[in-house]
Chain A
Amino acid sequence: MSANDLTEMVSAESIKQIDRWIAKYPTERKRSAIIPVFTIVQEELGYLSREAMDAVADYLEIPHIGAYEVATFYSMFRLEPGGKHVVSLCTNVSCMLAGSGNLKQWFKDELGIEPGQTTEDGRITLKEVECMAACGGAPMLEVDKQYHENLTVETMADLIRDLS
């Protein structure tokens, strides 16, 4: 039906996972699986391109705009290719009180990137996110899928520099 066939875009293994998620919902409510499907697709492709969103929409039998709405709403979905590592910095209340502003400033001073930007060498993308439920260890950030808590500018700087 569409030029964007999801089965040709991602691996058979991903499709298997996607179908497992779709099967959890009533057949006429396939669209309920959109968040896990996006997650799986992003995992494999690195980000959600327009073609990928269209393909997911077609696969779930929803209008394309329905997919765009979800993808643009949630901050964990990237619509553009990111760097090798994605650093998600929490700037919500607890982290802010514990000094996340200084961490953010470090990225600007040392790496020259603001939230939403990627370093010139393509190594690191910085994202500003809301609470990730680790207030006990504020300030915190997430590198790829790993939480790092109780950060100071120094510990974070070491951490980021050590990323390959």
Chain B
Amino acid sequence: MISIEVDGRKIEAEEGSMIIEVADANGITIPRFCYHKKLSIAANCRMCLVEVEGVKKPLPACATPISDGMVVKTQSDLAEGGQKSVMEFLLINHPLDCPICDQGGECELQDLAMGYGRDVSRFCEGKRAVVDKDIGPLIETEMTRCIHCTRCVRFGREIAGIREMGATGRGEHMEITTFIEKSVDSEVSGNIIDLCPVGALTAKPSRYRARAWEMTQYDSVSPHDCIGANLHVHTHRNMVIRVVPKENEAVNEVWLSDRDRYSYEAVTMRDNDNRRLQEPMLKVNGEWQTTDWETALDKVASKLNMIAQTDGAEHIGAISSPSATTEEMYLLQKLIRGLGSNNIDHRIRISDYSMQDNESLFPELSIELSELEALDACLLVGSDLRKDQPLAALRVRKATRHGQIAIINARKVYNNFNVLHEIEATPADWLQQVAGVAKYLLDEAMASEDISADGLGYEGLDELLAKVSVEQSHINIAKMLQKAEKSGVVLGLSALEFSHAATLRMLCRAIAGLSGATFGIMTHGGNSAGAYLAGAIPHRGPGGADVEEGGQTAQQMLAEGKKAFILLKTEISKEAVNAEQAKASLQASEFVVALTSYTDDEAFDYADVILPIATFLESPGSYVNVNGHWQDFNACVQAPGQAKPAWKVLRVMGNLLELKNFDYVSAQDVMQEVKGRMGAVGDRIKARWQCPESLPTDGQCPEPLNIYQVDCWTRRAKALQKSALAAGKEGLKRPKLSPFHNILGGV
């Protein structure tokens, strides 16, 4: 720590920090455009000029490291004179079209021009104009407004790992552009809108919709992946206008994936061509009729009661989306268990449920998301991190600055980080490849400690792996994990969807255990963890409580068929791994009640009652992310028509079915009850080793869901659907990335 003086204040600060960092940490305002705490230092806007005693010229605070005894003046004549001159230069070519600019009212340039700009411009020559670029359906450009801070360029190069924007030409002719007519296709591209300090890059879907000062801000949580990105939802007249990130260093830092940012379009009526379901619907003699809630719910209750009494409750099944809230899933399981059945599941993209009793309380990453970037070595198995959990990919990309990444996948994926060792297996061969790594580690451990596999805690593993051949590629990965101080093994979505997922998982657990790595699972949807905790699984109750007789898994219910199904927020014929079978099974079922928000749900083909429910932005609730962080939120807007939050619908259903303890006043009440049931868990449920019986060579990988097809909301987000990623265009087949992305000029 060294001490410096800023504006007469003595400040202790870390050696090597820049003046602007010290000032920011101590609440001293220094104007800036190009500096951003998450990006490299460019020092090209010169707005942050300050005076340093003993130096004749003003210095850029963002690029001047502090030294002991330094005396900094941010408001002296020299500093302010410098800042005002820079502002004058910046405004020379800026069009000053604030009245028609979307950024107006929340514009860094506008704000600073109030403080540092002149009231009258001395510039009377012609201004330059720059042709606008079409960079896709998500981002609107108005490049004449650009002040060349290069934040968007640096974001692409350093954070997203896909360099699509650049600065071409020089001097007066410099432009920020993609140069060729090309869309910006990164899955996190929307962040350049937040980064842009002027109105050059603005959100296309919300353009001209509302002014910053007219909107009301609510907090929410993204339901699309297990990260649980924190959202600021901006609304105007009960309409969601846009979504921007809420800073949370532990979860999403300052970023959002495009999915998190633009999925709100599925919620607003305006963007949905009236696809929002507004009234309960009943199928009468094969014809759909609108009805009122009372009739619809009475019908549901009497039918479920009848089936439970005549055929038995085990003939009823409930399937939830993994992106439903914890409260909704809790009530659904309470309802189905109240009827006397354990047939509840949310794992619609999993087909192998064996050894599920040996899994932890909920599938978790077991290290904090922020620790991902500190890993020295990380083995990703079955993971397309960029598409599955885009924000986790940004963390792993940071890890590549100092660490090494290996991947064992059964399909080719294009990452935005460098991968040192990559094994691209076939689905049939996948287990063998993973087993090769496990075997090398097991043999090493057994030899070095002169101990048996049993002694190591992996009973039977040596026999299982006896015939596996260890190749150099396996040894490379094993050694990478062994050598690293902090290492991790992370399973992705295709590892969970694999037809022998349980065997794969156990092998990976063994690899992690034997190499001293942490073991983590990245799960489907926004609330898989919440589903486990709430008991939306057939083999355990809320908080991991024992159930007398395990119910059927989603796959079993759909394969075997049920007399009645309750579907919560899932469009199962588009989401399940075995979608065809799911659809057939639902069609064959006697009674299907679907809780959905949309009129174009395929449920209209197979359901008998359809209940209109609120979406994630219209209902209170909570999501539990992959770290087990419990994040609750409130409704941001009202649901249209008669649509109701699903927790209320389930509560009334519980009441009509005359089940006990269904008298909740708020979603908060439900959450308190779920949380109350966690207390008894303790360490009772831990992942245990169970040796797989064999290493089958008939493995299959279902086709993964497109990044913008993961749930009912992304599927209906108009702008996202127009993007290149929605069309499945890769757009990332590009050269190797430099890990030195913090060095200026790095690619």
Contact = CB atoms under 8 A, between A and B. Distances in A.
A binds B: yes
Interface of A: 1, 28, 31, 50, 57-58, 61-66, 68-69, 72-73
B738 A65 contact: no
B166 A69 contact: yes
A78 to B, nearest CB: 14
A66 B167 CA distance: 9
21 contacts: A1-B735, A28-B738, A50-B180, A58-B735, A61-B735, A61-B736, A62-B747, A63-B162, A63-B164, A63-B735, A63-B747, A64-B179, A64-B180, A65-B165, A65-B179, A66-B163, A69-B167, A72-B168, A72-B170, A73-B169, A73-B170
B684 interface: no
A39 B747 CA distance: 21
B154 to A, nearest CB: 13
A19 B297 CA distance: 75
A121 to B, nearest CB: 28
Prevailing SS type, chain B contact patch: loop
A62 B162 CA distance: 11
Nearest to A65: B166
Contacts of A68: 166, 168, 179-180
A61 B313 CA distance: 62
Interface string B157-194: 00000111111111000000011100000000000000
A162 to B, nearest CB: 33
Prevailing SS type, chain A contact patch: helix
Contacts, number: 45
Contact of A31 (B167, B170, B733, B747): B747
A73 B168 contact: yes
A63 B170 contact: no
Contacts of A50: 180
Contacts of B165: 65
A58 B168 CA distance: 18
Given A69-B167, A69-B179, 19 more contacts: A1-B733, A58-B735, A63-B163, A63-B164, A63-B734, A63-B735, A63-B747, A65-B163, A65-B164, A65-B178, A65-B179, A66-B166, A68-B166, A69-B166, A69-B168, A72-B179, A73-B168, A73-B169, A73-B170
Most buried by A among B162, B734, B735: B735
A57 B166 CA distance: 14
A63 B507 CA distance: 38
Contact of A66 (B170, B178, B747): B747
Interface in B575-609: none
A68 B170 CA distance: 12
Contacts of A69: 166-168, 179
Contacts of A63: 162-164, 166, 734-735, 747
B322 to A, nearest CB: 36
Interface string B710-747: 00000000000000000000000111101000000001
Those 6 A-B pairs whose CB atoms lie nearest each other, nearest first: A65-B166, A61-B735, A72-B168, A63-B163, A68-B179, A69-B166
Nearest to A29: B738
Contacts of A61: 735-736
Contacts of B735: 1, 57-58, 61-63
Most buried by B among A31, A50, A62, A65: A65
Nearest to B171: A73
Contacts of A1: 733, 735
Contacts of B734: 63-64
A121 B164 CA distance: 38
Nearest to B153: A65
A2 to B, nearest CB: 8
A164 B178 CA distance: 39
A31 B164 CA distance: 17
A65 B182 CA distance: 11
Nearest to A31: B747
A128 to B, nearest CB: 13
Contacts of B166: 63, 65-66, 68-69
A154 B738 CA distance: 54
A96 to B, nearest CB: 17
Contacts of A57: 735
Contacts of B747: 31, 62-63, 66
Nearest to B180: A50
Contacts of B167: 69
A121 B130 CA distance: 32
Nearest to B745: A31
